[in-house]
Amino acid sequence: MAVRVSDPPDANQLLRARREFLKFLAASPYVATLGGVGAYLERCAFAESDSPATTELIGNPAEALNVFDFEEPARRRISQAHWAYMASGVDDDGTLHANREGFQHIELRPRRLHDATKVDTRVELLGTVYDSPIFLCPTASHRAFFPEGENAVARAAKARGTLMFLSTETTTAVEDVNKTLGRPVWYQLYSPSTWDACQKIVSRVAAAGCPVLTLTVDNTTGRNSETYLRTRPKDMHQCEACHDGVPGTSPQGHPMYDGIDMTGVARQNTAMDWAYLDRLRKEWKGKSFIKGIDTREDARLSVEHGLDGILVSNHGGRATETLRPTIEALPEVVAEVNGRIPVFVDGGFRRGTDIFKALALGARAVGIGRPYLWGLGAFGQPGVDRVIEILQGELKLVMGNCGTQTVKDITRAYVMSPDLKL
């Protein structure tokens, strides 16, 4: 009887198996008694990463070869509760992982014999020139990861000529961040449940000179953060001094709510609809973006309601367990918009090739979130700076190798997919 010898598993199969194992650990009562997955992995010297295993941690940002090199040093320096909050998704974390795996289904079609010495990654976004189409996504509570928080991120963004979005949940006032950055940030709005509170935030942002207001619409009803609840510390009393109760329920420590009576006011408005968006646009005199659009239907409505831009996003896999990566949602949004307004995208971007693929599919700019938080948590400003440097360098490299000298040269002709209709 012949015995069939199976082929050894490839890298993607091993990665999926590792992730399934981590989900199993998260549900294990034994692991919970050790303080959660983070503590268990530390004891076992086992950490989740898409990067090949290394024998030792990097000791400074210059040693990093890719952005994944910052993940484990950051995890060891950031408190368990803060790490669990930042690293987790929702439900089974399937959408979080889908964002990464989506890039594996898109292939590059490089063209040869083009002068790579002339590669220029600069882009113009709403009248301002940036060193690359890579931007820093709005992420909350930077001081939870490093004492200098958003100011450290702003200094790195300034040094690298990078567009920075600032979250409503910032732990540094918008005025201070603008001063550090040397220009106004683009502001991301979580709209509170009362118009008065929303109006006061919008007025303050306008007075600070921010040119763009980006309304987030993909997480208005909250989320089912199972992994966070399983992996955070069991005793949360140590958090009460900063959070005034259960984390995420109080505006304490978030200066954009200063001077606003938030008694009985939810920090996100579950009643928002397109009429509410129209009212907000009348209040705001600058450019208006919307964050969290993933379908052609909502892209069409975004254009019809006069928005100036769309950010395709699933909140880094932290909103609804759609299992649909943003790189897959991007093409239909771009097709529907048909060049009338710019389309940005975020979600799972970790490599220059990932960014190139999104640009080829029509994105005008590509956002990163967790990678720069890893850099921040590991080394502060130098870590964020090095994360941006690595991704800008990788993008320039793939542009040169594929035969594109400018970002505008990157078109759909440079990608294909057996799985998607590209």
What does each C-alpha distance from 333 to 141, 290, 310, 408, 418 come to in angstroms? 30, 13, 9, 19, 20
Which one, of 320, 126, 286, 123, lies nearest residue 215 by Cα?
A: 286
Q: φ, ψ for residue 213 (rounded to 5)?
A: -115, 125
Instruction: Report DSSP letters for 118-159, one per residue.
Output: G-B--EEETTEEESSSEEE---S-GGGTSTTHHHHHHHHHHH
Per DSSP, the three-state class of 212 is strand
Q: Exposed/middle/buried for 211, CB within 10 Å: 0-12, 13-18, 19+?
A: middle
- DSSP single-letter state for residue 20: H
Selection from 401, 373, 377, 398 nearest residue 388 by Cα: 373
Hey, CA dihedral for 374, 378, 384, 389, is it positive or negative? negative
Of the candidates 360, 87, 38, 28, the residue with the CA atom closest to the CA atom of residue 231: 38
Is 348 within 8 Å of 102 (Cβ atoms)?
yes
Could you count the other beta carbons within 10 Å of the beta carbon of residue 293? 24
**Secondary structure class of 314 (helix, strand, coil):** coil
Does the active-site annotation cover 142? no
Measured CA to CA, the distance from residue 117 to residue 57 in angstroms comes to 34
Where on the phi/psi map is residue 78: left (φ > 0), alpha (ψ -120 to 50), or beta?
beta
Which runs of E-coded beta strand occur in 28-87?
Answer: none
Phi/psi for 358 (5° steps) reads: -65, -40
Q: Which position among 82, 97, 142, 315 bears the catalytic label?
A: 315
Residues ≥6 apart with Cβ < 8 Å to 298: none
Give, in degrees to the nearest 5, the angle at Cα 156 between 153 and 160: 140
> Catalytic residue numbers?
315
